[in-house]
């Protein structure tokens, strides 16, 4: 190549966002709860074991047969799915639309980062638990295996953009990468986000990794 | 400039999306109805005049004091705002989340494009109207004055991207430009989209006009 051709190559490489052809499956997560042992005991009885109804995309994670009601002073949602297995701390994940319905201000947080978040009441028939904290709107994220992280050239905690070609196309910014070989590579967004991009079952997102911009 | 500097300038100009510093006010539209004369007559009585409660951002458009219920076989929303003035055809605009709550499949459409859309029941106290058609999820759009269209270098019907720096930043694609001197320059998105980007009152969006890509 001539010097000028090399220069052009170098400039193109630096300026144009590196668009990979790599895509990930995108799933919309509806409102759901994760329960700790004490909360399961209080809602279902001492030592109660939740019943697996359906495996989820993440290995070892499942939807349970049992459903509960979550309630604020303003409103409530019935028939909310419990995801197993049990967790170290109970956590309730809703959309910002749900937060408005409940009349609560709920922060956008990564799963597990529940310090300082509001609480909510959990109800199962005549039993109820006042959760002091743990109500979040989940921050959008991509679960990625170690192998896919290498293939996508991303690292744990890295922020990427993801382009969704639904019937309402958009590019999500500020998507956090989470890496573990316990994961299956899948992007999770909530129902507000799924509705905003016109997500359909099986939709895929193109991971846009910016280079040098 | 040397030849190489000119070349670099030319390449940068062609490759990098032209990022304007122009921004527009972005508003989230909640569920609302527009009513035609026959529907106002049926819901409120012959010749009834709706009462203006509050001017909206678009000149001549206003929220009315009167509220109604919209209902499907599965669910209903009460206290839905009516926007005036009256229209040639009644139209009900909801979010995709609302559509799920109502148990209805509702297409994303531009305002006024209601052929083949589902209907819904409108209720005011003991009076009700079965709307045969007119239920839509509004397609995101920017109202723009002729002057701003020239300034932004966009034309009627053009599709642009809009970058929102809310607390959940994203870039909306497929945003349609509507141009009229009857408009005030404002972008309208629904509540799913507002929640997906973390919109706050007064938020602005940067119009990204792609050049040559």
Q: Do B195 and A97 count as a contact with CB atoms less than 8 A apart?
A: yes
- Flag whether residue A162 sits within 8 Å of chain B, measured between CB atoms: no
Element containing residue B117 per DSSP (H, E) = none
Average pLDDT over residues A167-193: 96
**Res B5: pLDDT:** 72
Sign for the CA dihedral angle at B35, B38, B39, B41 comes to positive
In this prediction the pTM is: 0.84
Dist. CA A17–CA A213, nearest whole Å: 8
Q: Give contacts of B197 with chain A, Cβ < 8 Å.
A: 196
Average pLDDT over residues B91-101: 97
Q: Give the residue from chain A lying closest to B213, CA to CA.
A: A16
Closest partner CB to A170 (pick from B12, B100, B173): B173
pLDDT in tens, B140-177: 999 999 999 999 999 999 999 999 988 899 999 999 99
Nearest-Cα distance to chain B for A72, in Å, is: 19
| Class at the top of the CATH hierarchy for domain B23-27+140-212 | mainly beta
Q: Give the residue from chain A lying closest to B161, CA to CA.
A: A170
Asked whether the predicted pLDDT for residue A72 surpasses 90, the reply is yes
Entry field: residues in chain B: 213
| Band of pLDDT at residue B6, cut at 50, 70 and 90 | confident
Dist. CA B84–CA B157, nearest whole Å: 25
Whether the ipTM is more than 0.85: the answer is: no
Of the ranges A13-22, A116-125, B67-76, which one carries the lowest mean pLDDT score? A13-22
Q: How many CB atoms lie within 10 A of CB A41?
A: 15
Dist. CA A137–CA A116, nearest whole Å: 13
**Res A179: pLDDT:** 97
Q: Give contacts of B7 with chain A, Cβ < 8 Å.
A: 4, 7-8
- Flag whether residue A4 sits within 8 Å of chain B, measured between CB atoms: yes
pLDDT in tens, B18-44: 444 689 999 999 999 999 999 999 999
Q: Do A167 and B108 count as a contact with CB atoms less than 8 A apart?
A: yes
Nearest-Cα distance to chain B for A126, in Å, is: 26
Query: How do A135-138 and A108-109 pair as beta strands?
Result: parallel
- The percent of residues above 70 in pLDDT, for chain B, comes to 92
| Three-state DSSP class for residue B188 | strand
Among B58, B56, B81, B54, CA closest to B68: B81
Structure tokens at A184: 């299956």
- Which residue matches tokens 């539209």? B29
| Three-state DSSP class for residue A161 | strand
Average pLDDT over residues A109-115: 95
Q: Rounded to the nearest 5 degrees, what angle is found at the Cα of B137, between the Cα atoms of B131 and B140? A: 140
Contact B112, B83 (CB under 8 A): no
Average pLDDT over residues B7-26: 69
Q: Do B172 and A170 count as a contact with CB atoms less than 8 A apart?
A: yes
| Three-state DSSP class for residue B13 | helix
Dist. CA A106–CA A108, nearest whole Å: 7
Contact A109, A137 (CB under 8 A): yes
**Res B165: pLDDT:** 84
Domain boundaries, chain A: 23-27+140-212, 30-138
Nearest-Cα distance to chain A for B45, in Å, is: 32
**Res B166: pLDDT:** 80
Contact A52, A60 (CB under 8 A): no
Dist. CA B86–CA B36, nearest whole Å: 5
Q: Give contacts of A206 with chain B, Cβ < 8 Å.
A: none
C-alpha distance from residue A191 to each of A31, A56, A165 (Å) = 8, 17, 16
pLDDT in tens, B116-145: 999 999 999 999 999 999 999 999 999 999
**Res B103: pLDDT:** 97
Cβ–Cβ pairs < 8 A, chains A and B: 88
Q: Do B198 and A168 count as a contact with CB atoms less than 8 A apart?
A: no
Asked whether the predicted pLDDT for residue A209 surpasses 80, the reply is no
Sign for the CA dihedral angle at A174, A177, A183, A185 comes to positive
Strand partners, A135: A92
């Amino acid at each position: 190549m001539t010097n000028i051709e090399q220069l052009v190559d170098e400039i193109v490489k630096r300026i144009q966002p590196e668009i990979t052809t790599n895509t990930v499956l995108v799933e919309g997560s509806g409102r759901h709860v994760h329960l700790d042992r004490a909360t399961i005991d209080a809602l279902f009885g001492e030592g109660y074991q939740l019943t697996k109804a359906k495996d989820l995309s993440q290995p070892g994670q499942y939807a349970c047969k049992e459903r509960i009601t979550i309630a604020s002073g303003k409103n409530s949602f019935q028939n909310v799915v419990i995801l197993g297995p049990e967790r170290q701390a109970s956590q309730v994940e809703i959309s910002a639309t749900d937060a408005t319905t409940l009349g609560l201000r709920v922060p956008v947080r990564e799963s597990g980062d529940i310090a300082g978040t509001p609480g909510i009441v959990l109800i199962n028939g005549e039993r109820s638990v006042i959760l002091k904290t743990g109500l979040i709107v989940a921050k959008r994220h991509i679960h990625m295996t170690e192998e896919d992280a290498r293939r996508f050239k991303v690292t744990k905690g890295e922020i990427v953009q993801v382009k969704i070609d639904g019937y309402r196309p958009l590019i999500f910014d500020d998507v956090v990468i989470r890496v573990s070989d316990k994961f299956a590579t899948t992007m999770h967004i909530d129902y507000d986000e799924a509705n905003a991009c016109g997500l359909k079952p099986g939709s895929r997102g193109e991971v846009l990794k910016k280079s040098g911009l």
